[in-house]
Copies of this chain bind each other. A is one copy, B any other.
């Protein structure tokens, strides 16, 4: 069996993009199909298309809905690496950046003016994301030339605007009702902010983890040594935010963890320093869904971010990440709030993936011995 897919870079992730109809034709559940296509379970994913890291073991499933107000509906799949499983519990903001470009490249949306607007809806979270793709003079440039931190090569500029993102998972921006809370883990009491926007995020102060706020470049290594404690805090936060009944039942993907501090005095280019954790490891750049939560937290007095930024509702927030400074933006119009970030995206390859086995069918022992 052969399955068509586009392999695309969205922001700092590589994403395999499928259309719903094509996956349906296989007659196999994506929970079974995607891990096999990716080569899971295998820490190297050597027999499949997965890249053996959390940012390169991702799939997007797209379709054009009947709803006239939405151009493309999409579902994000975090495909397990050592487990033959798919996590459907959250969206990926970096991969989201491929959706508008895909729609233009496939002719689903006709470019209109210097910036083409594509209305997309993520089914994992119900989040509407308004995408703005640069189409100067009404066309994609032949040679994409937009740059972004964390990616050494250019792509097409895509603005991602999350429409009224607060509370999409839990119902409210501050699921516990408080701007800060206390969580006990590893015998220590931690002051945290738990915020739901884009994705549920639990935030901690870098200082509280013994990290030097002025040496942001050293945080990732410092966090690697405290992953157990951070996971403990994250699982408790999952319960407090109403995402799980017990810490043991917490999903791997959410809540995400963000470690924050005021920028070093010498850093005139950012408003806040951050390292996020995603799927249990420090993120090499920034989980974009989580950056939406950070942006709303910065606008909310009393949260850890609000204390750093003064809770001002400026139009931009500059985040110092391991990959450089990433800027988010906020726009209020007609009573709606759009919170977003600019990414770049590009199609790496147009592919037909070969699926060798009929999944779920027992191996024919006589044939197996004949090929030895």
Residues of A at the B interface (CB closer than 8 Å) are 2, 7, 9, 12-14, 36, 39, 41-42, 44, 46-49, 51-53, 55-56, 134, 136, 141, 143-146, 150-157, 284, 346-354, 356-358, 363-364, 367-368, 370-372
Contacts and interface: CB of A to CB of B under 8 A. Distances in A.
Contacts of A46: 9, 12-14, 55-56, 150-151
Report copies per complex.
Answer: 2
Q: What DSSP secondary structure best describes chain A's contact surface?
A: mixed
Nearest to A363: B145
B53 A367 contact: no
Nearest to A16: B349
Contacts of A146: 368, 371-372
A67 to B, nearest CB: 30
Contacts of A152: 41-42, 47
Contacts of A284: 44
Given A46-B56, A144-B371, 4 more contacts: A141-B367, A143-B357, A145-B371, A157-B371
B353 A349 contact: yes
17 contacts: A7-B49, A9-B46, A12-B46, A39-B153, A44-B53, A44-B56, A47-B151, A47-B152, A47-B155, A52-B53, A134-B372, A141-B367, A143-B356, A146-B368, A155-B356, A350-B352, A351-B351
